[in-house]
């Protein structure tokens, strides 16, 4: 079945440092979505990428979708304490509309 | 618009019992998905309902079941509870079914099985 792998599992950074989380799928995806879950909260939708090679930005966040539509990344520039949380990717299988979440990357930021 | 509402927020059950969780989607959303979240396993997909029909199902035993009503509200049921069923159960609604619609999650129901 479809597997969505996400690394790293944990990332601890000093405030102001950059952060990147990577997502890889065993199958070609129709699209990929990114979510953020604050501690004690629920996942909140951030963005969706659909096109091969697509890059989208939201302020300090940059999202990329690979050319083969099998991998994606989320990069945060100059992290802030408000960025703390777990970031999940969720890939949709092109063939069966099956959405699978990555295990998430838990980001902690030291002020 | 009101968000996704899940009830109850917390539940404590004993092994062997059964439990029913409820989810009211955002008004106008016809798709409801259920996820199990545990520290070790992340977000595991249970099933998705759209217009009262189960569209997709994850790899969970038959003890886990669900349904959707004509008003799009959904329930999931877990029978013969096991200790390993302790988790946060998240419901998410979306406008359309599956792939291209962002999921809007509720606050979840935290189930503890003793």
Is the pLDDT at B98 greater than 70, yes or no? no
Average pLDDT, chain B: 93
In this predicted structure, what is the pLDDT of residue A2? 60
Q: Contact, B56 vs A97, CB < 8 A?
A: yes
Q: Provide mean pLDDT across the span A76-90.
A: 97
Distance CA B77, CA B97 (A): 21
What's the mean pLDDT in B20-33? 95
Average pLDDT, chain A: 93
Any chain B CB within 8 A of the CB of A88?
yes
Task: Pinpoint the alpha helices (H) of A1-111.
Answer: none
* Nearest residue of B to residue A103, measured between CA atoms: B42
A30 chain-B contacts, CB cut-off 8 A: 99-100
* % of residues, chain A, pLDDT over 70: 95
d(CA A73, CA B89): 27
CB contact under 8 A, A101 and B35: yes
A31 and B106 within 8 Å at the Cβ level: the answer is no
The predicted pLDDT at position B4 comes to 97
Whole-angstrom CA distances from B3 to A10, A93, B66, B77, B103 are: 30, 27, 21, 22, 11
pLDDT for res B40: 72
* Minimum Cα–Cα distance from B59: chain A residue: A1
B102 CB contacts (<8 Å, ≥6 apart)?
A33, A45, A48, B94
> In this structure, how many other beta carbons lie within 10 angstroms of the beta carbon of residue A84?
15
Peptide bond into B112 cis (omega under 30): no
Least CB–CB distance from A99: residue in B90, B99, B108: B99
| pLDDT tens, position by position, A94-106 | 666 678 899 999 9
* B78, pLDDT greater than 90: yes
Contact assignment for A99 to B98 by CB distance below 8 Å:
yes
**Is the per-residue pLDDT at A75 higher than 70?**
yes
Distance CA B85, CA B38 (A): 9
A45 Cβ under 8 Å from any chain B Cβ: yes
Strands of B19-24's sheet in order across? B5-7, B19-24, B74-78, B64-68
Chain B hits for A31, CB-CB cut-off 8 Å, are 99-100
């Amino acid at each position: 079945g479809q597997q969505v792998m996400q690394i790293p599992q944990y990332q601890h950074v000093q405030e102001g440092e950059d952060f990147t989380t990577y997502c890889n799928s065993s199958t070609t995806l129709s699209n990929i979505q990114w979510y953020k879950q604050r501690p004690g909260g629920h996942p909140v939708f951030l963005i969706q990428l659909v096109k091969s090679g697509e890059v989208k930005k939201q302020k300090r966040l940059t999202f990329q979708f690979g050319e083969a539509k099998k991998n994606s990344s989320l990069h945060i520039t100059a992290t802030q304490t408000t960025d703390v949380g777990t970031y999940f990717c969720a890939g949709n299988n092109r063939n069966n509309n099956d959405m699978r979440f990555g295990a998430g990357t838990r980001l902690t930021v030291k002020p | 618009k009101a968000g996704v509402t899940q009830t109850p927020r917390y539940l404590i059950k004993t092994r062997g019992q059964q439990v029913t969780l409820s989810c009211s989607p955002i008004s106008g959303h016809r798709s409801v998905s259920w996820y199990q979240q545990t520290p070790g396993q992340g977000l595991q997909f249970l099933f998705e309902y759209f217009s009262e029909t189960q569209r997709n199902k994850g790899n969970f035993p038959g003890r886990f079941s669900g349904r959707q009503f004509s008003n799009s509200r959904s329930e999931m049921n877990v029978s013969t509870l096991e200790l390993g069923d302790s988790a946060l159960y998240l419901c998410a609604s979306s406008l359309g079914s599956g792939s291209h619609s962002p999921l809007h999650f509720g606050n979840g129901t935290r189930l503890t099985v003793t």
